[in-house]
Amino acid sequence: MNERGSWHLRAGSVVVAWLAALVVVSVGHRWIPQSGWLLVHVLGLGAVSNAILIWSGHFTDALLRRPTGSRRAETARLLVFNAGAVAVVAGMISGWWPAVLVGGCVVAIVALWHGTTLLRRLRSALPSRFGHTVRYYVAAAAMLPVGAGIGVAMADSRLPGEVHERLVLAHAGINVLGWVGLTVLGTLVTLWPTMLRTRMAQRVEDAARRGLPVLLAALAVGVAGAVAGLPVVTAAGVLGYLVAAGYVLEPHLDEIRRKHPGDFATLSVLAGVLWLFGVLLYLAIGLATAATPFEATEVAGAVTAALLAGFVAQVLLGALTYLIPVVIGGRAAVQAAMAELERGAPWRLSVANVGLVLCVLPVPSLVRVVCSMLVLVAFASFLPLVVRAVLAARRMRGVPSAPGVREPVPAARRLGIAAAGVAVVVFAAVGGVAADPAAVGISSIDTVAVAETGHTTEVQVRVEGMRFVPAVLDVPAGDRLVIEFVNSGEDRHDLVLANGRRTGRIAPGESAVLDAGVIGGTVDGWCSVAGHRQMGMTLQVRADGAAPVSHDGHEAATADTVDVSRSLTIDPGPGFVPHDATAPAARPDHRMTLAVSEVEREVAPGITQKLWTFGGTAPGPTLRGRIGDVFEITLVNDGTIGHSIDFHAGALAPDGPMRTIAPGESLTYRFTATRAGMWLYHCSSMPMSVHIANGMFGAVIIDPPDLPAVDREFVLVQSELYLGAPGGEVDAAKVAAGTPDLVVFNGYANQYDHAPLQARTGERVRIWVLPAGPDRGTSFHVVGGQFDTVWAEGEYRLRPGTGGAQTLGLFPAQGGFVELEFPEPGRYPFVTHAMTDAEKGAHGVVEVLPRT
């Protein structure tokens, strides 16, 4: 192995390290802070940017026929760049913006240093046939400082949410289409025919030379439109980029006609380019129809995975698969390395691309999760293979040629291996459907009690608000009914019939065809999304000319009877862990990812429910800060229906940040705390009462100025539980009727009877209280205690003096705190003095020990 190859392998190990980090983040994203941001930037800022710095310099020297000199400057650039990238990552994870600022500046400086170096080489070199392609690298290097600057500003931006959304689009466009896209397009001018081992097509050079100015102009239009908040202008820029990229790459079709891609390197790059064109087309259409910057960001967010995994990752892996053996040198070593990197190539390609297609389609959540895991396996397999390739090449070092000619894998066998990969994805998708058949509307067969007419009645049903229109369908008895269900509403809905037929959940703007079978009597229908039926989403099919047929036996099972009274008198099981009621300390950083998840939790001894939660707990995590603090919360919907979030602690237009997002989507909610209070946050998707009742709420504490220190501080969030079937979801009918089974503090009935809060005599204790509802307020009382301080809804009602208070009365969504000192040791119960609610579980104990 020559010195050039040795340097490239050492430098390339940095790329491999970033890719390994990407795999770690992908696997552990649920437990890693800022995981969504990390997935994007570990790939883009880490692996891809390092590869660009390494290989654009390599190609510049080759195209300009420059002799390879000292690598000190390139090595220094890589070291400094990675120090900056690590600082950015560390700053984002820790929430320390100065680290992001310093790291971003370092990244920008290195990009300018790199671009200036390439430009200097271009100007000092003799005329070269392909010298114009170096201009792609110079232009790309000029993009990264701008993109990095926008990213740094966004990391600490106190701008309104809409401005932030505009910057997101500009940041993504400059970095992905500028820094990465221009580099890829310029490199493929010469690399693509080299990879195919065929002569270059005639028009390639001319197309590349003419295409660069158009690409830059399109980028400028798109970024300007994004910053100005004009999605249609951004769409024009994206469309212009798509056309220009097509013009640059179109001559390469002649090379493909002459030599079909057949190995992993060429097929991976080709697949990546096809993903790029597909994403750009989708973006152009989606942005052109977006009415606001928020909608434009949603459109871009929907294709983030396709752009990064489909285009960026596949082009990177394909190029490295070709380049790594080439720089190793030596025929035997090259063949050995290529043989390793080609292992399972058809399987990896088919799994990655078919799996990714399913990931971006509107498939059930479980199917998307399984397919994304397979895509990760296909991509991650590159890492052990590249290690094997380097080791195999070293074993063949010094061997002049391979012992024998490696026979190419027959085309039929390659197709068979690829088919096996497709089969794996299909089986995985089928398994996901089998685990959640309701998500795709698997229906049962109805029994027909009427003579069939042989005629089919077709009807369209749409959604208006929380109603089916029409709500009554009259069908001749014996006709087969086919319903076109159009979800013209703003949330996910489905249509379930009492005979077992159903559509599965449909996203807004989509439609489905439901074969309701032969109609022999009255058949009821409804939307099965929790609470939607109770809000009026019902439908009735009536058979004209036949007696009504009852389908009550096909109704969804009602909740099994649970002995709530007994549960309130027994101890929890050995696995019981109380919700920590200790108030968190105020912290300077308020940037966090809040994932919506569906979890089965015990809510009283022996009673479990499937809760919808923020962050896996009900209530969700308590946030705490001070007036003037900026909160940036990324909501990720890992549930199966649409959800949203509403922070009462922020004052801003609800249209964008409080919108409902579909499963798999995310949004960023940024607000500045301008007033003190104990504020509720909750899901505001309809029916809001059901979403809150099933666990989607939490508290934000904004400390009043000069809040005195205390010895103990607790947070109690009161809520109601309307029990469904054991292990099931909330009973929406009980919510509508206002008949809770349990009223609880911090999500579990009587939990602080079993695990009392701790205090000592003479200590000053502050208790924050917030009734989240959805319907019940509280009259908070500590038996045997008296409050000398009461603070509620932003002001003091009582300060220490001669007066006292016995309760803190709060309506739903109001918050405040009380302070007291316990005069002697003992067990002091606390309750809501709405006694029927206290008897339903809103009861606990403060255990007071002697002062030491």
**Confidence category of residue 264, pLDDT binned at 50, 70, 90:** very high
Neighbours of 205 (CB within 10 A): 17
What pLDDT is stored for residue 551 in this prediction? 42
One domain for residues 68 and 142:
yes
In a domain, 51, yes or no: yes
For 79-122, the pLDDT digits (tens) are 999 999 999 999 888 878 889 999 999 999 999 999 999 999 88
One domain for residues 522 and 589:
no
Whole-angstrom distance, CA of residue 653 vs CA of residue 194 = 55
The average pLDDT across 266-278 equals 96
Instruction: Please tell me whether the peptide bond between 410 and the residue prior to it is cis, using omega within 30 degrees of 0.
Output: no
Whole-angstrom distance, CA of residue 61 vs CA of residue 8 = 14
Proportion of the chain above pLDDT 90, given as a percent: 57
Label each residue of 717-786 as H, E or C: EEEEECCCCCCCCCCHHHHHHCCCCEEEECCECCHHHHCCEEEECCCEEEEEEEEEECCCCEEEEECCCC
Secondary structure class of 694 (helix, strand, coil): coil
What pLDDT is stored for residue 308 in this prediction? 94
Whether the per-residue pLDDT at 559 is higher than 50: the answer is: no
What pLDDT is stored for residue 453 in this prediction? 84
The average pLDDT across 474-478 equals 89
Residue 844 near residue 782, CB atoms below 8 Å: no
* Exposed / middle / buried, residue 293 (Cβ in 10 Å: 0-12, 13-18, 19+): buried
Whether the per-residue pLDDT at 509 is higher than 90: the answer is: no
The domain tally of the chain equals 3
One domain for residues 26 and 150:
yes
Residue 11 near residue 54, CB atoms below 8 Å: yes
Joined together, the tokens standing for residue 497 give: 């019939």
Task: Return the residue matching tokens 């070199």.
Answer: 125
What pLDDT is stored for residue 720 in this prediction? 96
**Confidence category of residue 301, pLDDT binned at 50, 70, 90:** confident
Higher-confidence residue: 743 or 326? 743
Neighbours of 456 (CB within 10 A): 12
In a domain, 406, yes or no: no
What pLDDT is stored for residue 562 in this prediction? 62
What pLDDT is stored for residue 689 in this prediction? 93
One domain for residues 534 and 613:
no
Pairing of strands 591-604, 607-614: antiparallel
The average pLDDT across 706-727 equals 94
Whether the per-residue pLDDT at 321 is higher than 80: the answer is: yes
Q: Among residues 554, 583, 601, which one ends one of the domains?
A: 554
What is the pLDDT of the chain when averaged over all its residues?
A: 88
Alpha carbon of 432 to those of 368, 371, 375, 435, 762: distances in Å?
8, 9, 15, 5, 58
Pairing of strands 808-810, 467-469: unpaired
What pLDDT is stored for residue 775 in this prediction? 93
Instruction: Please tell me whether the peptide bond between 193 and the residue prior to it is cis, using omega within 30 degrees of 0.
Output: no
Proportion of the chain above pLDDT 70, given as a percent: 93
Residue 392 near residue 328, CB atoms below 8 Å: no
Whether the per-residue pLDDT at 10 is higher than 50: the answer is: yes
Adjacent-strand bridge partners of 474: 542
In a domain, 330, yes or no: no
One domain for residues 2 and 143:
yes
Whole-angstrom distance, CA of residue 396 vs CA of residue 392 = 7
In a domain, 76, yes or no: yes
Whole-angstrom distance, CA of residue 171 vs CA of residue 163 = 12
CATH of the domain at 790: 2.60.40.420
**Confidence category of residue 369, pLDDT binned at 50, 70, 90:** confident
What pLDDT is stored for residue 610 in this prediction? 92
In a domain, 699, yes or no: yes
Whether the per-residue pLDDT at 548 is higher than 50: the answer is: no
Whether the per-residue pLDDT at 851 is higher than 60: the answer is: yes
* pTM for this entry: 0.65
In a domain, 378, yes or no: no
Pairing of strands 630-637, 591-604: parallel
For 762-806, the pLDDT digits (tens) are 999 999 999 998 999 999 999 999 999 999 999 999 999 999 999
One domain for residues 625 and 487:
no
One domain for residues 484 and 624:
no
Whether the per-residue pLDDT at 439 is higher than 80: the answer is: no
What pLDDT is stored for residue 155 in this prediction? 79
In a domain, 194, yes or no: no
The mean-pLDDT minimum among 401-405, 519-523, 666-670 falls in: 401-405
One domain for residues 618 and 521:
no
Read off φ and ψ for residue 699, nearest 5 degrees: -125, 145
Alpha carbon of 724 to those of 301, 562, 688, 690, 841: distances in Å?
35, 9, 17, 12, 17
Q: Among residues 88, 121, 156, which one ends one of the domains?
A: 156
Joined together, the tokens standing for residue 534 give: 């109770």
The average pLDDT across 540-550 equals 68
Whether the per-residue pLDDT at 552 is higher than 50: the answer is: no
Closest alpha carbon to 360 in 424, 302, 280 = 302
Range of the domain at 531: 443-554
The mean-pLDDT minimum among 55-69, 368-382, 577-591, 741-755 falls in: 55-69
The average pLDDT across 499-514 equals 85
Alpha carbon of 535 to those of 276, 490, 551, 609, 659: distances in Å?
43, 15, 21, 22, 19
Residue 91 near residue 98, CB atoms below 8 Å: yes
What pLDDT is stored for residue 550 in this prediction? 43
Whole-angstrom distance, CA of residue 717 vs CA of residue 704 = 19
One domain for residues 59 and 148:
yes
**CA 314, chain centre distance (Å):** 21
Whole-angstrom distance, CA of residue 392 vs CA of residue 408 = 19
What pLDDT is stored for residue 398 in this prediction? 66
**Confidence category of residue 436, pLDDT binned at 50, 70, 90:** low
Q: Which long-range contacts (CB under 8 A, 24 or more apart) does 70-73 make?
A: 71/7, 73/117
Whether the per-residue pLDDT at 261 is higher than 70: the answer is: yes
Q: Among residues 107, 133, 156, which one ends one of the domains?
A: 156
Whether the per-residue pLDDT at 220 is higher than 50: the answer is: yes
DSSP secondary structure code for residue 644 in this structure: -
One domain for residues 584 and 531:
no
Whole-angstrom distance, CA of residue 612 vs CA of residue 607 = 16
What pLDDT is stored for residue 298 in this prediction? 77
The mean-pLDDT minimum among 144-148, 163-167, 453-457, 736-740 falls in: 163-167
What pLDDT is stored for residue 159 in this prediction? 52
Q: What angle do CA 428, 429, 431 make, to 5 degrees?
A: 65
Joined together, the tokens standing for residue 776 give: 């019940």
One domain for residues 33 and 112:
yes
What pLDDT is stored for residue 558 in this prediction? 38
Whole-angstrom distance, CA of residue 677 vs CA of residue 814 = 9
Whole-angstrom distance, CA of residue 701 vs CA of residue 65 = 64
The average pLDDT across 191-207 equals 92
What pLDDT is stored for residue 779 in this prediction? 96
Alpha carbon of 671 to those of 105, 618, 627, 650: distances in Å?
26, 23, 11, 5
The average pLDDT across 43-49 equals 94
Whole-angstrom distance, CA of residue 337 vs CA of residue 327 = 11
* Non-local CB neighbours of 387 within 8 Å, separated by 6+ positions: none
In a domain, 505, yes or no: yes
What pLDDT is stored for residue 195 in this prediction? 93
DSSP secondary structure code for residue 653 in this structure: -
The mean-pLDDT minimum among 87-96, 132-141, 203-212, 562-571 falls in: 562-571
Q: What is the per-residue DSSP string for 305-329? A: HIIIIIIIIHHHHHHHHHHHHHHH-
Task: Return the residue matching tokens 């316990």.
Answer: 822
One domain for residues 545 and 628:
no
Handedness of CA 728, 732, 734, 740 (dihedral sign): positive
Whole-angstrom distance, CA of residue 370 vs CA of residue 373 = 5
